[in-house]
Amino acid sequence: AGRMGQAIADSIAAADDLQLAGTWRRGDDLDLLLANSDVLLDFSLPEATDAVIAAAAEAGIPLVCGVSGLSDAQVASLEQAAATIPVVYDRNMSLGVAVLEKLVRQAAAALPGFAVEVHETHHVHKIDAPSGTALKHGEAIAVARGTDPADIHYKSERRGEVPGDHQIVLSSPTETLTLAHSVTTRQVFADGALAAARWVSDRPPGLFTMHDVLE
């Protein structure tokens, strides 16, 4: 998937324990690629994900999916595939974001009366807004409070080449708590994806996130 795919390919080339079996573009034979693969990494676009999920399940190959903007039906397809293959699905492969989500959940539960805003800034090429990571934090807050994710207020900004900045702001009339995470290079997502690939390669079937990889 463009720059992300290139970052992953470069990281695999630099790793002693990993080898790139090949890359797939729509129109190519995905089954042939999977015949020589141990793990499939998907960082394409939602339009390609259905074909990727089906092929991975058919081949019995572990899948790492980091595609943002999947529909509910596509997430359901991932869950279905996870009955037969191990799947790591996360809208953000950064280990720091996995920790941030845990902190956000703690803060939201501890400060139930505080208003919450989720702010995110990304590069001008990013199509979906709010970002998948922002929505992930909103869902974590809603779960922690037992409220509706639709009640979370999001602010999205698109500028320059920012790889990804997220802030969760909890405020009362008397104080404000801000939890923030900033990505300096897209490399962090490639590193997380490879950590997930190593981790998932010998797991039993199931649907996992970066929390599982982290722990």
pLDDT band at 127 (very low <50, low <70, confident <90, very high): confident
| Residues labelled as active-site residues | 122, 126
How remote is the C-alpha of 149 from its chain's centroid? 18
Q: What is the pLDDT of residue 215?
A: 83
Check residues 215 and 165 and name the one with the higher pLDDT: 165
Q: What is the DSSP letter of 150?
A: G
- Burial (CB < 10 A; 0-12, 13-18, 19+), residue 196, is buried
- By residue count, the chain amounts to 215
Q: What digits encode the pLDDT tens for the residues 57-74?
A: 999 999 999 998 899 999
Identify whether the C-beta of residue 161 lies closer than 8 Å to the C-beta of residue 197: no
Beta bridge partners of 26: 28
Which of 191, 184, 181, 186 is CA-nearest to residue 214? 191
Structure tokens at 194: 């490879």
Q: Does pLDDT of 4 surpass 90?
A: no
Q: What is the pLDDT of residue 148?
A: 87
pLDDT band at 202 (very low <50, low <70, confident <90, very high): very high
Q: What is the pLDDT of residue 14?
A: 95
How remote is the C-alpha of 101 from its chain's centroid? 12
pLDDT band at 161 (very low <50, low <70, confident <90, very high): very high
